[in-house]
Each structure stands twice: as structure tokens, then as C-alpha cells.
Structure 1
Amino acid sequence: MSKRKLKESTLSVGDCVSKAQTILRERYCHQKLPEKPFGVESQYKHLLELLRRTAVHGESNSVLIVGPRGAGKTMLLKCVLRELLEVKQVKENVLLVHLNGLLQTDDRVALKDITRQLHLENVVGDKVFGSFAENLAFLLEALKKGDRSSSRPVLFTLDEFDLFAQHKNQTLLYNLLDISQSAQTPVAVVGLTCRLDVLELLEKRVKSRFSHRQIHLLSSFGFSQYKEIFAQQLSLPEDFPDKSFAEEWNENIQSLCEDKTVEDVLKKYFHSSKDIRSLHMLLILTLSRVTVSNPAIRAADLLETSRLCTADSKANILHGLSILELCLIIAMKHLSDIYDGEPFNFQMVHNEFKKFIQRKAHSILNFEKPVVIKAFEHLQQLELIKPMDGPSVKNQREYQLVKLMVDNSQIMDALQKYPQCPTDVKQWAASAFG
């Protein structure tokens, strides 16, 4: 019996890899909530207490969750709602309305969505209302219980809260906050925004009805915690069908965390953005490199994936240029160095290019001037150079001032990766001046 059980719990390598990828992709793509929110414990308690007072005691509230993108505002709210709705009585009684400033672009659309989410389309029917306030009041009145003595609490969450402040007369915000101040219907209004000056956007009448409660989120965790999140996001759960594969996988992830190459990649991500979603993008691409022949994540996989994620688009364009176009870019680089970043024109670039050809006697690079002009115009189309004034007059195009839009490191990187690049061209680029 025990042998049969052991057989059932041991999967083939292909099945294990497939199962691991399914579990981890679901974790990243569906933004699976953590068991407990990290780094925001005090904010979590504060918000939970506010919403519990509305859901259980019928006390109206309004609050703003403010923080930069990726700080965990939505995660915090979802974790609070998850705990709140675990109580059966609350789940059966509380109504949720989710609005987003990017979707509900005006008050009419927002009201229509509120009606849909409260399942009151049949109640409203073809009724005509004199004002927005009258319509909203009717909807909330319709939510009262059978004896019409008490109303069901409604939690309104307004994502991209600052965009609702751009609606005409801020009617939606005014009415929601006005209701949250009155004792008629238990309503909680939770706004999520990344703008610190959001209160300055509100009209005086709207601001006076807001409770001025704000919960600020900052990505306050350090690099050691970021590494823990990385390990946690890549680890397989305890209930994975093949225990031995899961143990090996998790041990490998722990050893990855101690690898110097992996640490450098994570530091680069940590210092550019603490947004966990950007980490998820890195992990999804790394996970796609796991196969039957390579059933574990290696440091090289993570390094290669990070290069793909942080690839410089302009450096990639440089890799596809012809030798002539690359030489013109190098000539511009020297002109920028000589004239301390001042703009230059085609004639100056052409003279610089001719000096290089005469010095190195390059017959293969000895192009006619019209050909060089065409190459110069192509660089302008690719937006590697930018004209300093309006569209050029045809007979004056050689003297129109332009500016180079790539820096020295991008040019040197492109030359290193350029296939069969002449040594003289590389040396010319590396020299201090042309």
C-alpha cells in the first residue's frame, strides 16, 4: 500500500516542470494575495478597523489610500476585504462597488455601473430622475431591508481617485461623501491614488464633506526583505504533488539567493523600482527557460532574462545600422564632445567623417555626398538625431542644426556587439576626439 502511494506521489520530470510552471504563473499573472501584507501592518489594522465599523456597526466613513505606483495600495485593500468578508454575517450583508477613474470617465457612466453592481437595473427600470443626487439616493433607498428600518452597508472603492476629481462639478464625489457624512445609509468611501496633492484637486464643498483620513503607503522594506519576497515568489507550496522535486526546487531557490550574480540583478531591480509587478515580469520570463533538460532555474537564466527586460531600445536600433550610418553617429559623438553638447549640422558631420576617411584611407567607406545625406536623413527618421528647429527648407537641410539623442555608452555598447565591425572604426570611436 505504501509503495503504491509512493508511486502515485512521484511524477515524471516533465509533469513536475509543467505543474511548477502552472502554479507559479498563476501566482504572478493573477496577482495572488499574500497570506499577510508585508511592511504595511499598521496601515492594515487601521483600514480593517475603519471598514469593520461600517460593515458591522453601520458607521459611515471615508478614507484615502495614498502611495506611489507599486507600493501595494490595491493589495492592502484586497487583503482587508478578504479578512472582512470571512465573517459569514458580514459577507451576506455588505455590498461592494468597485469604480475606476480610467473606466468610469464621467458620472453618468459611473452611476450606470453602480446600478449594475448593486443589481438594481430592474428597480430603476425606465424611471426618470431630476438629478444625480436623486438617482443615487433612490438606489441606496432600494437597498433597505424588508422592514425598511435599516440599510445594507455599501463599500465604495474608487481606484485612480484623482481622475474622479476631473469629472464635471465633481458630482459623484460630492454625493458619495455627502452620504458618508449623513446617518441615513452606512457607506464607506475608499479612494486609492498615487497623487500626494489629491486634496488640492477637490472643490471646497467636496473637501468639506471628506473626513480627511489618509493612509500613506511607502515602499519602506529593505533589500533583505526584497530577497525574501523573491525567494517566496519562486518557492513551490508544501502541497506540491512531488515532494522530492519541490524540496530540490526550493533548495535551489535558496542557493540562488546567495549567488552574487543573482544578488546584483535583484539589486538593480530593487534600486530602480520596488514594484513587485516588475519582479513578477522578470520571474515569468525566467520561468519560461525551465524545461525537462533544464529543470531548475540557474543564475545564468536570471541574468539573461534581466538583460532582455532592461534592454535599451536605442542601443538595439544602433545594432541594426549600416557601417556608414554608424560612422556618422561616431562623428556626431566627437562633435558633441568637442562643442560640449552644442547642436551641429550635416556639413560639420560630413567634414568630420571625411577627415576620418582621409586619415585611414578607407576606400570601402568613400561614399558620395548624396549617399551620406540619405544615411543622415535615415538617422533622423529613426529619431537618433533631433532637429533643433522646425522642418528644414530643402536647399538649407545641410545646415539645419540637430542634436544627437544617444549617449557614449550606448554607442560603445553597439560597437562591441556589431558583427564584423572594422577595427579602425572601433578605435576612432574609442579615441578622445575624431
Structure 2
Amino acid sequence: MSKRKMKDPHLPVGECITQVQEILRERLCHQQLPDRPEGVEAQHKHLLELLKRTAVHGESNSVLIVGPRGAGKTMLLKCVLRDLLEEKEVQKNLLQVHLNGLLQTDDRIALKEITRQLHLENVVGDKVFGSFAENMAFLLEALKKGDRSSSSPVLFVLDEFDLFAHHKNQTLLYNLFDVSQSAQAPIAVVGLTCRLDVLELLEKRVKSRFSHRQIHLLSSLTFPQYLERVRIQLSLLHNFPDDSFAQDWNTSVKTLVKDKSVEDVLQRHFNSSKDFRSMHMLLMLCLCRVSVSKPAIKPADLLEASRLCFADTKANMLHGLSILELCLVIAMKHLNDVYEGEPFNLQMVHNEFKKFLQRKSNSMYNFDPPVIMKAFEHLQQLELIRPVDVPSAKTQREYQLMRLMLDHSQIMEALQKYPQCPTDIKQWAMSAFS
């Protein structure tokens, strides 16, 4: 039975599509690590050597990986750790602690997380420590098996490193760098940050204990390389069960990236962000449109996916407003035009709206003041308007100064797409004078 299956490699189209979507979703959503990181070979070699010295020879180190979001800082570190852990000696000994500045917002939480990740909760128990340094020293001492040479090396990874600099007295950073410099225990501290000026945030005593090693990741990606990356991300490998389908799919992908309209769309994405995550989001939206009736990605799919990626979220929010809320936004637009962007209050907006009602003498738009107040507050909750100053108890709500967070083009575009928008409201919005 198995031999017959091997001889007949053709699968139903539906099954092929399902497998394609599974493979590409795994690749695009789970950020599959490349076999070899592209364009950062020197940085990869440098970081691997540093961590190997800690993991194998018990040498302490500290280093910062600096680069813009999406440049591949986490990918680089994960690739290095994968290569490092391939060695059996390292696999057994190296302990890892991963902290994130967004989650561990103070040193007490960070210390708890370090204890949890090192599985030392039972060792610490109910012990009371005089200081953070004592607690940290006890944790590292607990990892020792005997003499210093047999201590387990520990890798501390600090994601969003700059946020740890905002902790009180920078105690965590001070103690980690102090241990790495004084060789109390073999540890490596790796910080990941987007801020180029991160060293300026460190206190003098912390800075003096840091090794000042920095690995910079600056994207040198060119547009042809970006196009090639798109092709690789969408292509199927030779181990796909149905060879014929895989060949057809890969041919269609090659044709897709050579299409002029597709190139224009990808050029726009490349110019706005070289971040691979935003590229993966675009390709995922294309992949969602593949089906049995349409077993390939077409240029139209990429154009639609791009439209969704670049959609103006604030303008889209206007489509869900009530007629009253829309009228208030238009009144604000007119006030902005007349007073050249100066702040306004609810009373001014209400007066502007009343001018429109008097001109139209249309009773269907008559609303009570409390209803108008409620609609105005809803616009503030949606952050379509925001207060100029912090509200004070003395200022009445209808006289509190506000600014409109939408521009003229966003309002006009939203009006064109607003479902069944009354003609007189459209005309009011388009008129130069209210």
C-alpha cells in the first residue's frame, strides 16, 4: 500500500492547498529561523564567540544588541543560541533567564522571575534578604556545585533593555554587570534595544561596570533582495508531497514577483518599512485568499492585502459613527477651517451645528443638549478628539478646549464611504462656509 502511494504522488487540490497554508503559516506567523542569518554573518560570529566563552570556558561577558525594530535582533540571538546548544556540553550546563522590560516593570518582579526561571523557589523559601545584591548573590551561589569551575553558566537576556534603565537606582542592571565584571559566577548579560543612545540612560556606576560591547544591526537590505525574500517566503521546498503542484506553485510565485503592479506595491512597503514582520503580515493576507477555486496568489490579492495594510484606521472608525456624531465631526472640521486649527469647545461645535440646522430647517437632526454632550464624549473616548489641557474641576465640560485628531482628507474620504450618508450632510461637509 505504501509503495503504491509513493508511485502516485498526485494529491487532490484541496489537500495541497491545506498543506500549503499550513507550511506558509508556520513560516510566516511563527517566524521560522533561517538556516543561516542573511546579512549579519559578522554579528552572528561575534555573538556566538562571546556566548561560547561563557558557556564553555566560564568567562563572564556583557553585550548590547542595538538596532531598529524588525532589524532581526531577536532572530540573531535565537540563531546564535540554536547553534550554541548544538554542542552537548553547552546543552547540559547553560541556564537561560529571559526578561522583558515591558513585563518586569520593577526589580522586585524581575527578581521573582529570575528565581522562577532558575527553579530556585524552594531554595529561597521564606528567606529575608537585606538587599537586592544579597538576594542575587544567594541565587548565583545556589547554582554552584562546588568550586567556581563547576558553577553553571547563566545567560541573562534583557529584551527592551532601555526600560530596565528606568527602574529605581538601576539596581538590577548594576548587580548583573557587577557580577559579570567581578567574575563571582560565569554569567553573560545580553541586552536588546532599539535606542542608539541607551548608554546615556545608564547611571555612572552602572556604566562603569558594563563592558561597552555593542553589536549594531542596521538594515542594508536592497529592493532586489527584498523581492527575493518575498519569493523565498512564498516558495515551497522540494520535500512537498506533490511535486507537480509544488512546481506549479513556485512558477506562479516567480511570475507574481515579476509583475509590474506587484513590484510597485512591494516598493511602497519597502519604502515605508524594511521590517520583515510587516512583510509577513502582507503575505499572510494574500495567503488567506488562496482556495481550491483559486489555487495561486494573484496580483489582485497582493493589491487588496496592501490596501488592508495601509488602511487608515481612524478614517475607518468614522464609518461606524451615528449621524449626530458625524455632524459634530463636520462642525469641528468647519471650525478648524475658519480658525486655522485653533482649539474649540463643545459650545462652539453646538453653535456651528445649529447654523446648519437653521439653514436646512430639518427637524430630523434636532437633538437635545444631553444627547449632543453624550455624542461629544463618545468621540473623545474614540480618541477622535482630545483635550488640549488636563481637565480641571473648575472648567465646565462644554467649555473644555479640544483638538480634532483627523485631517480634512480623512473626513472627506470617510464621508464618501459612509453607508447611506444623507446628501445634505455631504453638501454641508463640502461647502467652504458652514
TM-score range relative to shorter protein? 0.7 to 0.9
Instruction: Give 1:328 deviation, angstroms.
Output: 5.5
Q: Tell me, in whole angstroms, the C-alpha distance in 2 between the residues paired with 1:201 and 1:339.
A: 42
Instruction: Give 1:239 deviation, angstroms.
Output: 1.1
Q: Name the Cα RMSD after superposition.
A: 3.4
Q: Tell me, in whole angstroms, the C-alpha distance in 2 between the residues paired with 1:136 and 1:335.
A: 60
Greater shift in the superposed pair: 239-248 or 279-288? 279-288
Aligned equivalent of 2:356: 353
Q: Secondary structure at the match of 1:105?
A: coil
Conservation of the 8 A alpha-carbon contact between 1:66 and 1:217: yes
Q: Tell me, in whole angstroms, the C-alpha distance in 2 between the residues paired with 1:2 and 1:353.
A: 78
* 1:271 maps onto 2:271 in alignment: yes
User: 1:43-192 counterparts in 2 under 5 A?
Assistant: 43-125=43-125, 127-145=127-145, 149-192=149-192
Aligned equivalent of 2:29: 29
Q: Tell me, in whole angstroms, the C-alpha distance in 2 between the residues paired with 1:369 and 1:129.
A: 68
Q: Tell me, in whole angstroms, the C-alpha distance in 2 between the residues paired with 1:134 and 1:96.
A: 21
Conservation of the 8 A alpha-carbon contact between 1:164 and 1:173: yes
Q: CA deviation digits over 1:109-137, x for unaligned, max 9?
A: 33333333334445445555444333333
CA 1:329/1:135 → structure 2, altered by over 3 Å: closer, same or farther?
closer
Q: Secondary structure at the match of 2:212?
A: coil
The number of equivalent residue pairs is 427
* 1:218 maps onto 2:223 in alignment: no
Greater shift in the superposed pair: 72-81 or 153-162? 153-162
Instruction: Give 1:367 deviation, angstroms.
Output: 4.6
Q: CA deviation digits over 1:65-112, x for unaligned, max 9?
A: 122222211111111111122222222232222222233333343333
* Aligned residue type for 1:39: G
Instruction: Give 1:232 deviation, angstroms.
Output: 1.9
CA 1:88/1:338 → structure 2, altered by over 3 Å: closer, same or farther?
same
Percent identical across equivalent pairs? 70
Q: Tell me, in whole angstroms, the C-alpha distance in 2 between the residues paired with 1:136 and 1:296.
A: 56
Q: Secondary structure at the match of 1:192?
A: strand
CA 1:385/1:165 → structure 2, altered by over 3 Å: closer, same or farther?
closer
List runs of 5+ in structure 2 lacking aligned partners. none
Q: Tell me, in whole angstroms, the C-alpha distance in 1 between the residues paired with 2:2 and 2:176.
A: 62
Instruction: Give 1:191 deviation, angstroms.
Output: 1.0
* Aligned residue type for 1:353: F
* 1:416 maps onto 2:419 in alignment: no
* 1:306 maps onto 2:306 in alignment: yes
Q: Tell me, in whole angstroms, the C-alpha distance in 1 between the residues paired with 2:396 and 2:194.
A: 50
Q: CA deviation digits over 1:307-346, x for unaligned, max 9?
A: 3333323322332445666556445434433443334523
Instruction: Give 1:354 deviation, angstroms.
Output: 5.3
User: 1:10-25 counterparts in 2 under 5 A?
Assistant: 10-25=10-25
Aligned equivalent of 1:255: 255
Conservation of the 8 A alpha-carbon contact between 1:262 and 1:302: yes
Aligned equivalent of 2:379: 382
Q: Tell me, in whole angstroms, the C-alpha distance in 2 between the residues paired with 1:369 and 1:97.
A: 63
Conservation of the 8 A alpha-carbon contact between 1:316 and 1:414: yes
Q: Secondary structure at the match of 2:199?
A: helix
Greater shift in the superposed pair: 386-395 or 348-357? 386-395
Aligned equivalent of 1:294: 294
Aligned equivalent of 1:360: none
Conservation of the 8 A alpha-carbon contact between 2:148 and 2:185: no
Q: Secondary structure at the match of 1:382?
A: helix
List runs of 5+ in structure 1 lacking aligned partners. 358-362
CA 1:13/1:7 → structure 2, altered by over 3 Å: closer, same or farther?
farther
* Aligned residue type for 2:349: F
Q: Tell me, in whole angstroms, the C-alpha distance in 1 between the residues paired with 2:129 and 2:402.
A: 60
Conservation of the 8 A alpha-carbon contact between 1:315 and 1:413: yes
Conservation of the 8 A alpha-carbon contact between 2:335 and 2:349: no
Greater shift in the superposed pair: 385-394 or 183-192? 385-394
Greater shift in the superposed pair: 64-73 or 308-317? 308-317
Q: Secondary structure at the match of 2:156?
A: strand
Q: Tell me, in whole angstroms, the C-alpha distance in 1 between the residues paired with 2:394 and 2:182.
A: 67
Conservation of the 8 A alpha-carbon contact between 2:64 and 2:191: yes
Greater shift in the superposed pair: 257-266 or 333-342? 333-342
Instruction: Give 1:246 deviation, angstroms.
Output: 1.5
Conservation of the 8 A alpha-carbon contact between 1:328 and 1:376: no
* Aligned residue type for 1:132: F
* Aligned residue type for 1:258: K
Q: Secondary structure at the match of 2:268?
A: helix
CA 1:82/1:366 → structure 2, altered by over 3 Å: closer, same or farther?
same
Q: Tell me, in whole angstroms, the C-alpha distance in 2 between the residues paired with 1:394 and 1:106.
A: 37
* Aligned residue type for 1:305: A
Q: Secondary structure at the match of 1:9?
A: coil
Instruction: Give 1:403 deviation, angstroms.
Output: 4.4
Q: Tell me, in whole angstroms, the C-alpha distance in 1 between the residues paired with 2:396 and 2:120.
A: 69
Q: Tell me, in whole angstroms, the C-alpha distance in 2 between the residues paired with 1:168 and 1:388.
A: 31
CA 1:207/1:31 → structure 2, altered by over 3 Å: closer, same or farther?
same
Q: Secondary structure at the match of 2:46?
A: helix
Instruction: Give 1:200 deviation, angstroms.
Output: 2.5
Conservation of the 8 A alpha-carbon contact between 1:97 and 1:114: yes
Q: CA deviation digits over 1:21-58, x for unaligned, max 9?
A: 11111122222112222232222222122212222333
Instruction: Give 1:160 deviation, angstroms.
Output: 1.8
